[in-house]
Amino acid sequence: MGKSWQDDPAYQAVVRAFIDGDPLEQAGGPLDVRAVLAALPRERKDAFAYGDLPWERFPRGPETRDDVARLRSTDPEQVWRGVQGVEGEVADSTLSVAAMAVPFLLRTAADPHNRHRGYALETAAWTVRRPLEPWPETRGELLRFTDPGWRYEPSGYFGTWGIEAARDAIAADTDLLVRLLDDPDPGIRAAAAYTLVAAAGPADRIRAALHARLRTEDDPVARAGLLLALVQWANEHPDPDCETRVRARWSDPAEPPAVRVAAALGWLCLTDAPAPDALLAALDACATGETARLMAPLPWLREIDRGGDAGLRRFLDGVLPTERPG
């Protein structure tokens, strides 16, 4: 009979440090995934030197290391399995090892020959932002990051550090993500914006990069994604002009329907003011089944409805429960 997971040395070390001991005493030490990732030089990330990381110190580390190794395969099926494995760790709240995979997911996304670039980008962002509870359906929670508070992994590891490590890792690769905002594929451009706003900073540079891309973006769905990204960024980094800018978009009949819908959703998530009649009219005109189908691939809507076209409807149900009951 094989050993149980409780017999794993990494699990036992976590129990001693985080359950039997004071988690904060581990800050900056060998079990602090934030310090572990920060110590990995940029050139080693670029060389895909995932073996430099001490996976064995963390529960589920060796399994995640094997998934990261698959990201370098020339077989698209193996790459898919690798990304899916990391996504599984996020779904299981094993955020520390998922965070350690983030630099390599981003480099997978930067490879123009990789067929699963968007999936890799979204999975890197989900390490920070994928909701672990039922989807919140209020204006005050949509397009906002949840404060992780004191979050623990199933092993007892301090999962809050995993979220912080992932945000720091995304911030460390701001240059890579800013370049992806100009990718030839509009889906990658939207996914890059979605991932970029999950970064811990630098605030001014990220905001400037998103605005620069929005000024030149000619794909309506990618523009919609950029507006959602800017609203999410403004919810965490105050931007007093954001509300005015999105109002100008949803009130402009010359804008494509997807852009007007995204701007309307963004406006509702930035303020608790009652929805103006003009905004409701814009949604009535633009939030059609065709618009929902076009916007369904946007990562913000895929958070709500994976693989379907109901994301927009569920988003609208969250922001308009009083204006449009039922």
Predicted pLDDT of residue 325: 42
CB-CB contact of 160 with 151 (8 Å): yes
> Which phi and psi (to 5°) does residue 11 adopt?
-65, -45
Distances (CA, A) of 162 to 58, 138, 165: 11, 26, 5
Predicted pLDDT of residue 147: 77
Range of 6-10, 121-125, 310-314 with top mean pLDDT? 121-125
pLDDT at residue 323 above 80? no
For the segment 87-98, the average pLDDT, to the nearest whole number, is: 95
Cα–Cα distance measured from residue 205 to residue 203, given in angstroms and rounded to the nearest whole number = 6
Predicted pLDDT of residue 152: 93
CB-CB contact of 102 with 166 (8 Å): yes
Which pLDDT band, with edges at 50, 70 and 90, does 326 fall under? very low
pLDDT per position as a tens digit, 175-204: 999 999 999 999 999 999 999 999 998 999
Predicted pLDDT of residue 3: 57
Predicted pLDDT of residue 275: 92
Choose the weakest-confidence range: 116-125, 234-243, 283-292: 234-243
pTM recorded for the entire structure: 0.93
Between 314 and 256, name the one with better pLDDT.
Answer: 256
pLDDT at residue 144 above 90? no
Picking from 175, 207, 204, 161, the residue whose alpha carbon sits closest to that of residue 106 is: 175
Predicted pLDDT of residue 133: 54
pLDDT at residue 92 above 50? yes
3-state SS track over 307-318: CCCCHHHHHHHH
Predicted pLDDT of residue 317: 84
Predicted pLDDT of residue 131: 60
Cα–Cα distance measured from residue 173 to residue 195, given in angstroms and rounded to the nearest whole number = 11
Q: For residue 37, which amino acid is it? A: L
Picking from 70, 80, 78, 67, the residue whose alpha carbon sits closest to that of residue 120 is: 80
Predicted pLDDT of residue 311: 85
Predicted pLDDT of residue 307: 64
What does the block give as tokens for 238? 């105050």
Predicted pLDDT of residue 309: 75
Residue 28: which region, alpha, beta or left (left: phi > 0; alpha: psi -120 to 50)?
Answer: left
Cα–Cα distance measured from residue 101 to residue 220, given in angstroms and rounded to the nearest whole number = 32
Choose the weakest-confidence range: 52-61, 82-91, 193-202, 307-316: 307-316
Cα–Cα distance measured from residue 192 to residue 294, given in angstroms and rounded to the nearest whole number = 18
Cα–Cα distance measured from residue 271 to residue 269, given in angstroms and rounded to the nearest whole number = 6
Cis peptide before 62 (omega within 30 of 0): no
For the segment 9-38, the average pLDDT, to the nearest whole number, is: 95
Predicted pLDDT of residue 85: 98
pLDDT at residue 33 above 50? yes
pLDDT per position as a tens digit, 147-179: 778 889 999 999 999 999 999 999 999 999 999
Predicted pLDDT of residue 177: 98
CB-CB contact of 315 with 265 (8 Å): yes
Predicted pLDDT of residue 30: 97
Picking from 265, 255, 272, the residue whose alpha carbon sits closest to that of residue 220 is: 255
pLDDT per position as a tens digit, 206-245: 999 999 999 999 999 999 999 999 999 998 888 889 999 9
